[in-house]
Amino acid sequence: MKNPGQKYRLAILASGGGSNAANFMDYFYDHPKIMVSLVVSNNASAGVLEKASAYGVDSRVLAAPAWEDKHAVLALFDSYGIDAIVLAGYMRLIPGWLIHKYPNKIFNIHPALLPGFGGKGMYGIFVHRAVIQSGAKRTGITIHLVNERYDEGPILFQESIPVYPDDTPERLARRVQRLEHKYYPIVVEEEVCSRK
């Protein structure tokens, strides 16, 4: 952990509506040890940007070309004193140089039980459609550390729920998101607080 009085600072990377990001901003609002300092999106029209503003958290749009300037991106994270990064529905691959700068400090959540139903193109509703089409009896969430391949870093936490015979992808998505909101901030909090 950091010195007493100094909070551990998270950046959240998100591409879409940002319900998980909002849940983090809520959970860590007034938290004694951890705060959300910055929200970054690759998408200028992502709903997550409005959510950041509602919570008074700074946000930036970094579209694909901006990520080519490694020094500028790292300087942005440094300027906010970012200690760890949380991916919350972020659809782009994280570059190796960011993983090296934040070793074992970049977290992701995936809306299925990895290693099943992961990889490039497997996000959001596509995951739930694939789960239903496969006939799987259970699905769930996976929280894992990020490496240079989609959805392949070491798994920290999984929780599962049944898939019902009459489930639609949308219904499954809602139930899985409830799990995400319940567990993702807690797992990140435990990881961060248990490390020196």
Q: Using the rule CB under 6 A, is 16 a contact of ligand GAR? A: yes
Q: Using the rule CB under 6 A, is 110 a contact of ligand GAR? A: yes
Evaluate whether 88 touches 12 at the Cβ level (below 8 Å): yes
Q: Position 61: which residue type? A: V
Given 110, 128, 144, 181, which residue is catalytic? Answer: 110
Q: Using the rule CB under 6 A, is 14 a contact of ligand GAR? A: yes
Give the long-range contacts of residues 189-193, CB within 8 A, separation 24 or more.
189/27, 189/28, 189/31, 189/34, 191/107, 191/156, 192/1, 192/8, 192/33, 192/34, 192/83, 192/84, 193/1, 193/33, 193/34
Q: Which of 124, 156, 157, 159 binds ligand GAR (CB under 6 A)?
A: 124
State the nearest-atom distance from the C-beta of 129 to ligand GAR, in Å: 12
Can you tell me whether residue 95 is helix, strand or coil? coil
Neighbours of 94 (CB within 10 A): 21
Evaluate whether 83 touches 10 at the Cβ level (below 8 Å): yes
State the nearest-atom distance from the C-beta of 89 to ligand GAR, in Å: 2
With tokens 């901003």, the residue in question is: 25
Question: E-strand spans in 42-193?
Answer: 58-61, 84-87, 106-110, 138-145, 155-162
Q: Position 183: which residue type? A: Y
With tokens 């007034």, the residue in question is: 30
Q: Using the rule CB under 6 A, is 88 a contact of ligand GAR? A: yes
State the nearest-atom distance from the C-beta of 116 to ligand GAR, in Å: 13
User: Which 25-64 residues touch ligand GAR, going by CB under 6 A?
Assistant: none
Q: Which of 18, 140, 153, 185 binds ligand GAR (CB under 6 A)?
A: 18
Is position 144 annotated as part of the catalytic site? Answer: no
Which span (1-9, 32-40, 54-62, 117-125) binds ligand GAR, by CB under 6 A? Answer: 117-125
State the nearest-atom distance from the C-beta of 71 to ligand GAR, in Å: 27
Measured from the CB atom, is 3 or 140 closer to ligand GAR? Answer: 140
State the nearest-atom distance from the C-beta of 141 to ligand GAR, in Å: 7
The residues annotated with a catalytic role in the active site are: 110
Footprint of ligand GAR on this chain (CB under 6 A)?
Answer: 14, 16-20, 88-89, 109-111, 122-124, 127, 177, 180
